Structures are given as C-alpha cells and as structure tokens.
Amino acid sequence: MNDRIIKTEYSDIMQKSFIDYAMSVIIARALPDVRDGLKPVQRRTLYDMYELGIRYDRPYRKSARIVGDTMGKYHPHGDSSIYEALVVMTQDFKRGLPLIDGHGNFGNIEGDGAAAMRYTEARLERITQEAFLSDLDKDVVDFIPNFDETEREPDVLPVKIPNLLINGSEGIAVGMATSIPPHNLGEVIDAVKAYMLDENITTRELMRYVKGPDFPTGGIVINEDELLDIYETGAGKIKLRGKVEIEKAKGGKTNLVITEIPYTMIGANIGKFLMDVASLAETKKTQDIVDITNQSSKEGIRIVIELKKDADVENFKNMLYKKTRLEDTFGVNMLAICNGRPETMGLKQIIRECVNFQYEVTARKYKNLLEKELERKEIQEGLIKACNVIDLIIEILRGSKDRAMAKACLVEGKTEGIKFKSKESKVMAAQLQFSEKQANAILDMRLYKLIGLEIEALINEHEDTMANIYRYEDILARRDSMAQVIINELDAIKDSYQRKRRTQITNAGEAVYVEKKIEEMDIVFLMDRFGYARTIDLPTYERNKEAADTENRYAFLCKNTGKICLFTNTGQLHTLKVMDLPFGKFRDKGVPVDNVSNYDSSKETLVYAASQSDLNLYRVIFATRQAMLKIVDGGEFDVAKRTVAATKLQEGDEVVSVVAYKEQRNIILQSKAGYFLRFAVEEIPEKKKGAIGVRGMRLAASDEIEAVYYSQNAVEQSIPYGNKELELNKIKLGKRDGKGVKVRQG
C-alpha cells in the first residue's frame, strides 16, 4: 500500500476541526431541542429507562445500572455527565416538573450533592411515561443509529407538552449559551390551546395565559413591565426577590423570616447569603442583627434573622435586597435547536414549533393506527365471509394435501389436487378470492371461533373497527379534528398534573435603604506585637493606659470612621477601615491585620502604623536599608485604594524606618558595622512618594543601615549599645552624606 501524504495549511485544519467540535457541542451536547425540550443526554437517559422497563408502577432500579446501560448503548461521554443529568431530572427544586422519581439521597436545595450512583435508585415519573414516551411504539418519530450503529435511538421524544418552557433549560456551548426559566404547566397548556385556536395571536395576548416564569423556589418577579419585551425577543433580564415575612418575637423584638428564595440562590449561594448577612454585622453596615439561623428543612426554606427591638425593619429588608443575593437577576436567553440549528426564539415561536411538532406526531400516530385498523378490517371481513361459507372452507382444508395448496385455493381459486365432495363445491371454491392476509387468518383460525357468540363478537369488533377507521380518517383529513385531539390530550395532562403558581409577578420599585450615619468619635487603636488589632473607647484606654502602652506595639488615637495606614519594609502602604476592626473591651482579642487588609505578614514586615487623619497633619520621614532618606507630605497617603506604593526603592533595598515628622530635630543613623551619623533633620529634602530620596550616610560596600533614631536638642536620650548606654546627643553632630563615627560596644 502506498502511503499518501497530504500537505495542507495548519490554520485550515485547526479552523475546520474547531468548527466541527463547536457544532458537535452545540447540536449534540449542550443545547435542548425545541420539540421535546431535552438535551441528548436527558433524552437518552429517559429512553434507556423506558427500554429497561423502569416504569412508574414498577420497582426502583439502581442508578448505576441506568447510567451504565445509557453510556454503553447511547451516550459514550462519561458516567458523571449522565448521572448528573439524571439527578437534575429528579430535583423538584430545580425542575418545575421532575421527570424521574428518585429514591435515596439526590441532593438538596442548599447545595449538598447527591449520593454516589451505586447508592441511589430511580424510576420514571408517571407523567414522563404518559406525556413523553407513550407513543414511541406507534412510529411517531424517526429512529437513528447510535454511536456504534449497534442500537437505534429516537431522534426526538414524542413529548405532548412544551417541555422547553415548562422545565426550562440551562447550558453552555461554544460561543453561545441557553438560559430558559421554568413556567407553570397549566398556564403553558392554556397558551398552546389559545395559539391552536388562533395562530395570529400576539405575544401580548399569549401572556394573558403565561403570566411569566414560575420558578420551583417561588420568589417574586419585580419587573413585570419588562417581561413582554423578553418574551418577544427571547432575551433579557428577569429581576427576582425572595419572599420575606415579618414575625413578632419575644421581648418586643422582630424576626425577619425568608420563606422563599430567588431561583438563582439555590445551592451554595444559600450559604453565601448567610455569610453576606453576617458580614453586614461584622463590618458594621448594620447594628440591627441579633442572630441569624437557617431553619430550612424538607418542608421548605426558613431563614430567620432576629433583629433588635428598635430596628427599622423595612429599611433593613431593603438593605438585604441591595447588599445580598436576596434580590438577583436571572439572565434569559431562550436558545434552542430548531430545524437542526441553534436559534433564539420568543414565546410565540417556541409554542409554534411545539404545536407544529404535535401536528406532525399526531399525523404519524393516526396514520399508523389507521393502517392497523385497515389491516384488522381486512382480516375481520375475511373471517366473517369465511364463517358464511364455513362448510366449503372445511371441505377445502380436508381435501388439500398441505397448507400451501389450501392457501392457493383460498387466494387464487386454484382447485387442482384438492378433493371436493361435489362439482358445485369445486366451482364455488374457485370463486372465493380471499386476500393473502385473510387466507392466513382463516388458516390460523381455531375451531372455537365458530361458536355463535364468537361470531357475534367478531361482527361487533368489525363495527368498532369501522368506527375507528372513520374517526382516524376524519382526524387525518381535517385539521380541526386533529387539533381537538391534541387539545383533549393537553386537557387531560393539565387536569392530572397542574399545580398552583409559585412565583408572584409584579412591578416593584428599586429597593431604597437609608444607611445610618455613624456618629464620629475618637477611639484608640491597639495592635500587639503579634499583629492582632482592635479598638477601644477613650475612657477605657485612659484607665488602662500603662498596660495598653506596655503590652501593645502601637496605641494611638483615631476616628471610628477613619482609616489606619500600614507601612511595610517593601515600600507598600496598606490601608484598613477602622470600622473593620472589633470594638470592645480592653482584654478582648483582636483580629490579625492580615484578615482586614492586603497586608501579608508572611511576605512583608510592618514598619509603621498611623491614623490616616493624623498623617494629613504631618510630614513623613522615610529611611531605607541603603541609607536613602526623604520627607513626604502626609496628605499623599490619603488614598482610596487599599494598597499603593508608599515609596520607590532601589534594587535590593527595603524600608527600615517610617515616622511622622513632629518635634524631631536630629536624626541618628546606625549602621550594621557600628558607625553612627547624627545630623539635622532639616537636611533631608521633601520629595514625592514616588521618589527614591537622597543618600543620608556613606556606607562601606558590605554595610547597611541597622537602626534609625531621632532626638531633640538639649533633651537627653540614650539607647543600649553593647555593654553600655549610648547617649545619642553626645554623638558628634555632622552633615548628611557623611561617613559617621565608629562607636565601640564596650
């Protein structure tokens, strides 16, 4: 065999391969078909359960068996995707009309996952059999080969209701996504009937029946006026709110009880909502919360927020709408596969496609039924005719050598080889002219059929068959008759499975809440050597001043509405809100500043902390490891960002000292090699925070600044150095950029 090497452009191969992949995901994986509202994995799972006989009135079967059979026969894409689809079809909090009856742990509304497939069991719901699978044996839809052409599967299920609207759908394909909200079954069926009676009906008129989405979690849709545009275009945003009730509690307190949540909150978002509410209290956005508990159960959602006695309940409720996911947005994009390609459709177009599909399915169903009735009629007429000449039939059978000879006589009138009692019988036998099917039925007929009652029953059956034929022909010939059949089936489904609407549709203004202004006051910021920070009131600090100053690395006044500035050795400035710090008793434990700011103690070292309002009144002196100095106006650090660069550093350099410039007169630089340089602070120039600064001391190649001190003229100040106390004011006063003097340690 000669190998052929085909040279082609790499980009052309990539383009073709990606397009093929994208279309495969769009058509065969992620998007539902408008006709049955199902994705391929859902359709295949339901069909496999139907084939396995796992009906609603039969025992449950292991989910693992269903998943394995579906994967082996129809859906070769992994067991997890099949089981996930099966689980979702059982969850009544995700689907308005569950299609599978699950037995075991199939997850819950709070986001807990289902148990492994080996532990759970499932079977079809009754409505799934009656409205999704009941007519599969009547050749109403096309069957296609499966992935390895060893089985056949339906191209689409003969669903009798617009499942795409009733259950909705969510899916992400390549370059497109679908998001269709669920609707009320009874309302959708009424809209379908209205369309069938008047195909020129408008979307506005259809919305007399379909008021809007009906989420299984209830809630309130608050933008009713925008729904018409959404249902006409098939895209838009639905605004949802949870349902909140007010209950009186003991001691004159009020409980805010959330009994229904937005559809978008199901799963992990319930936990996030609880954390968001707790965060409102921790960050002091509100001081009305006493306690919050999640009392939800199988009976429904119940989240209780206990409020203080004097709380403004309405204002607090509006704050929840604004600050949490109790008010959320559901993005609508009604995208589905229509005529083999993805298309965004409005309400009327979806209903039209579903109705056209129903006409097609019904026509194929009754055509199939008519063919069977005509076949039955033919056989019945043959048997009735045979009963009238039964003696002749018996004579032919007794006189024939085999079945083929008897059949040839009945069908073609061939009498050769058959022994007759008389010539008259032979002549009559030659004139019978039964059809092929009639002859087979006569030859298969048992003797008990010749009983009088059996013959009478055969005649009555023939009359019923003729009535059915007349009815089926009428349905196939007249669209009105077919429409009535479809409407009757829809009415039966509605009577059996409709339920009350859960989601309220209304117009509501934007939630407005007035944020309570916090009275500004002076408090004291405390931070210990381990980086734990807190605040206390001024009287408490004054009573414990000695202990506070001794036990804490920083203790200074600040405003409760202000910010704290944290300067680090990497030249960064991190700010944190004072309101984010716990306010309480003197001995209360604080919180790590890492938790309330961008400061990371594992990567940087805190050099200086100060109140931002204080820095606005002063200038700030910076000193680095390489002896670079500068003074910066403190107002430059009044920033909105949580982290900014406080100074510019040379490569390998770091900040060793940051102080507010108040009453200092001299600066003393101490190097690692034991050199001290003392000079006037006035020699340090004022620069912008983005500048490197000027050199304060000439260092040897391996030397660096180890410490920085400040002193005032005529004020004695000493530091421990080696085995002695070093008086800073006795160090010779020099000039900036000098080498300094060597001081021995002992």
Question: Going by C-beta distance under 8 Å and a sequence separation of 6 or more, which residues neighbour residue 75?
Answer: 40, 41, 44, 45, 81, 82
Of 661, 730, 656, whose CA–CA distance to 699 is shortest?
656
The pTM for the full model equals 0.74
**Of 119, 366, 532, 608, which residue is the catalytic one?**
119
Give me the pLDDT at residue 52, please: 94
SS3 571: coil
Please indicate whether residue 119 is annotated as part of the active site: yes
| Separation between Cα atoms, residue 256 and residue 462, nearest integer Å | 70
At residue 171, what is the residue type?
A: G
Give me the pLDDT at residue 452, please: 59
Quickly state the pLDDT bin for 651 (edges 50, 70, 90).
very high
pLDDT digits (tens, 9 = 90+) for 327-382: 999 999 999 999 989 999 999 999 999 999 999 999 999 999 999 999 888 888 88
Q: Is the pLDDT of residue 274 over 70?
A: yes
Vertex 262: Cα angle to 261 and 263 (nearest 5): 115
Strand order in the sheet with 100-103: 61-62, 121-124, 100-103
Give me the pLDDT at residue 220, please: 95
Give the pLDDT mean for 266-295.
Answer: 86
Tell the burial category of 577 from Cβ atoms under 10 Å away from its Cβ (0-12, 13-18, 19+). Answer: middle
In this structure, of 438-447, 609-618, 652-661, the range with the lowest mean pLDDT score is 438-447
Give me the pLDDT at residue 24, please: 65
| Separation between Cα atoms, residue 216 and residue 167, nearest integer Å | 10
Give me the pLDDT at residue 397, please: 80
pLDDT digits (tens, 9 = 90+) for 367-396: 999 999 998 888 888 887 777 778 787 777
Give me the pLDDT at residue 509, please: 79
CA dihedral 358, 360, 366, 369 (to 10 degrees): -110
Structural tokens at position 58: 């039969």
CA dihedral 525, 526, 531, 533 (to 10 degrees): -60
pLDDT digits (tens, 9 = 90+) for 161-184: 999 999 999 988 777 889 999 999
- Residue 475 near residue 370 (C-beta atoms within 8 A): no
DSSP class of residue 354 equals H
Question: Going by C-beta distance under 8 Å and a sequence separation of 6 or more, which residues neighbour residue 740?
Answer: 669, 671, 675, 676, 677, 678, 697, 734
Quickly state the pLDDT bin for 20 (edges 50, 70, 90).
low
Give me the pLDDT at residue 9, please: 80
HEC string for 695-730: ECECCCCCCCEEEEEEECCCCCCEEEECCEEEEHHH
HSE-CB of 398 using CA atoms within 13 angstroms: 9
Find residue 332's DSSP bridge partners. Answer: 236
Q: Is the pLDDT of residue 25 over 70?
A: no
Q: Which residue do the tokens 């060793």 mark?
A: 656
Quickly state the pLDDT bin for 626 (edges 50, 70, 90).
very high
pLDDT digits (tens, 9 = 90+) for 608-620: 999 998 898 999 9
| Separation between Cα atoms, residue 247 and residue 293, nearest integer Å | 14
Q: Is the pLDDT of residue 453 over 70?
A: no
Vertex 508: Cα angle to 278 and 171 (nearest 5): 70
Q: Is the pLDDT of residue 130 over 60?
A: yes
Q: Is the pLDDT of residue 231 over 80?
A: yes
3-state helix, strand, coil in the chain (%, to 5): 40, 25, 35
Pairing assessment for the beta strands 177-180 and 289-294 based on DSSP bridges = unpaired
HEC string for 273-331: HHHHHHHHHHCCCCCCEEEEEECCECCECCEEEEECCCCCHHHHHHHHHHHCCCEEEEE
Pairing assessment for the beta strands 220-221 and 504-505 based on DSSP bridges = parallel
- Residue 348 near residue 195 (C-beta atoms within 8 A): yes
pLDDT digits (tens, 9 = 90+) for 522-565: 999 999 999 999 999 999 999 999 999 999 999 999 998 899 99
Q: Is the pLDDT of residue 572 over 80?
A: yes
Give me the pLDDT at residue 14, please: 81
Q: Is the pLDDT of residue 705 over 90?
A: yes
- Residue 109 near residue 36 (C-beta atoms within 8 A): no
Q: Is the pLDDT of residue 1 over 80?
A: no
At residue 647, what is the residue type?
A: T
Q: Is the pLDDT of residue 578 over 70?
A: yes
| Separation between Cα atoms, residue 186 and residue 37, nearest integer Å | 17
Of 470, 469, 482, 462, whose CA–CA distance to 364 is shortest?
482
Quickly state the pLDDT bin for 252 (edges 50, 70, 90).
confident
| Separation between Cα atoms, residue 365 and residue 141, nearest integer Å | 9
Find residue 528's DSSP bridge partners. Answer: 552
Q: Is the pLDDT of residue 27 over 80?
A: no
| Separation between Cα atoms, residue 575 and residue 571, nearest integer Å | 13
Percent of the chain with pLDDT over 90: 60
Q: Which residue do the tokens 């849709």 mark?
A: 221
Give me the pLDDT at residue 202, please: 95
Q: Which domains does the chain have, with CATH numbers?
A: 26-159 (3.90.199.10), 243-325 (3.30.1360.40), 359-496 (1.10.268.10), 522-742 (2.120.10.90)
Distance of CA 445 to the CA centre of its chain: 63
Checking 535-538 for CB contacts under 8 A at 24+ apart, the result is 535/560, 535/578, 535/581, 535/582, 535/583, 536/583, 536/584, 536/585, 536/586, 537/583
Give me the pLDDT at residue 22, please: 64
Structural tokens at position 98: 């569950």
| Separation between Cα atoms, residue 442 and residue 458, nearest integer Å | 13
Give me the pLDDT at residue 455, please: 76
Quickly state the pLDDT bin for 86 (edges 50, 70, 90).
very high
Of 86, 58, 59, 55, whose CA–CA distance to 70 is shortest?
86
